[in-house]
């Protein structure tokens, strides 16, 4: 049981990190105490994001803790999407988790736009639907499904409740926190013709299964609008454990006229306060092999930097 003093210390520290001006001492507070304290003494709290959405968060989970602590998750990708999406666009969120990006996109695309939020985990799908309802996002269609290149049943493994978004079909050698099975299908079976034709950004974050998602998407790529872009978290080691190749994924997108850009993505909690005060990172053209987990953007824009 968390003592009243510990609760007070966590609340005060979080207030300072989240709301006090400047960055003085914030990295040290986050690194030495606050991040681990919120993880090890979890609380359920409402938190408002920097883009104005309200989330009910469980701070034992990495993503939800960062939303509670900083009001943002992956600040560089967040800012990139804010520059991309406009009213009337469609955003496809493959691996929606609890809906951070789906709710961000919902506000950006407006009433005439749409968001398709695809989440494999039944638990996260339920949370996602609650967050959508809490924020009155009538333009979000939430679907409980895994995405692959064919219809199949997939078994997902959760290694730790400290990062519940790391549900993965990649085999896990240790003792799993939980497992679940869910039906998978290609994106072509989930998206309507209108959603596909209007899709401005397709985000894919599926913890190693990105190869099969892109294979299923491949026949649809020539149906996308000319300015459509993809944001894909590519995890070469996890892909390898599934018998997949990151290079094959990249080749498939290159063959369809997409150029690859890399966006910085640092999950170190103590670096968030400073990162939030810097200018948004500019995606840089990337021509080297992908050997580590990377946030990659794919665009038909052929340049050294993605504007």
Please tell me the CATH code under which domain 73-299 is placed.
3.40.50.150
What is each CA distance from 255 to 218, 248, 259, in whole angstroms? 10, 10, 10
Please state, in angstroms and rounded to a whole number, the distance separating the CA atoms of residues 240 and 116.
28
Contact assessment for residue 45 and residue 52, using Cβ atoms and an 8 Å cutoff = no
Tokens representing residue 78 in the block: 């967040």
Domain residue limits, the chain: 73-299
Tens of pLDDT along the chain (307 residues)?
Answer: 578 889 999 999 999 999 999 999 999 999 999 999 999 999 999 999 999 999 999 999 999 999 999 999 999 999 999 999 999 999 999 999 999 999 999 999 999 999 999 999 999 999 999 999 999 999 999 999 999 999 999 999 876 565 565 678 887 766 667 889 999 999 999 999 999 999 999 999 999 999 999 999 999 999 999 999 999 999 999 999 999 999 999 999 999 999 999 999 999 999 999 999 999 999 999 999 999 999 999 999 999 999 8
Q: Are strands 229-234 and 294-299 parallel, antiparallel or unpaired?
A: antiparallel
What is the spatial distance between Cα 75 and Cα 238, in angstroms, rounded to a whole number? 24
Residue 80 zone, left/alpha/beta (φ > 0; ψ -120 to 50; rest): alpha
CA distance 275 to 281: 9
Cα separation, 125 vs 119, in Å, equals 6
Alpha-carbon gap, residue 52 to 197, rounded angstroms: 29
pTM for the whole thing?
Answer: 0.95
């Amino acid at each position: 049981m968390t003592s009243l003093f510990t609760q007070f210390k966590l609340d005060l520290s979080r207030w300072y990190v989240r709301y006090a001006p400047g960055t003085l001492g914030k990295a040290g507070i986050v690194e030495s105490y606050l991040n681990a304290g919120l993880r090890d003494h979890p609380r359920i709290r409402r938190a408002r994001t920097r883009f104005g959405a309200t989330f009910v968060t469980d701070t034992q989970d990495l993503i939800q803790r960062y939303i509670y602590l900083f009001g943002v998750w992956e600040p560089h990708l967040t800012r990139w999407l804010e520059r991309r999406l406009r009213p009337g666009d469609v955003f496809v969120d493959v691996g929606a988790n609890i809906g951070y990006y789906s709710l961000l996109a919902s506000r950006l695309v407006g009433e005439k736009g749409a968001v398709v939020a695809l989440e494999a985990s039944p638990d996260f799908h339920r949370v996602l639907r609650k967050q959508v309802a809490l924020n009155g996002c009538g333009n979000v269609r939430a679907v409980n499904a895994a995405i692959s290149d064919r219809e199949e049943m997939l078994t997902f493994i959760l290694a730790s409740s400290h990062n519940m978004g790391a549900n993965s079909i990649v085999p896990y050698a240790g003792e799993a926190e939980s497992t679940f099975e869910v039906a998978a299908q290609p994106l072509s079976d989930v998206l309507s013709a209108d959603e596909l034709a209007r899709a401005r950004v397709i985000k894919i974050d599926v913890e190693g299964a990105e190869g099969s998602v892109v294979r299923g998407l491949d026949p649809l790529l020539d149906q996308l609008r000319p300015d459509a872009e993809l944001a894909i978290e590519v995890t070469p080691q996890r892909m390898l454990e599934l018998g997949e190749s990151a290079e094959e994924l990249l080749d498939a997108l290159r063959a369809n006229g997409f150029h690859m850009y890399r966006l910085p993505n640092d999950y170190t909690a103590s670096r968030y306060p400073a990162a939030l005060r810097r200018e948004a990172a500019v995606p840089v053209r990337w021509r080297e092999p992908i050997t580590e987990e990377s946030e990659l953007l794919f665009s038909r824009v052929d340049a050294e930097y993605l504007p």
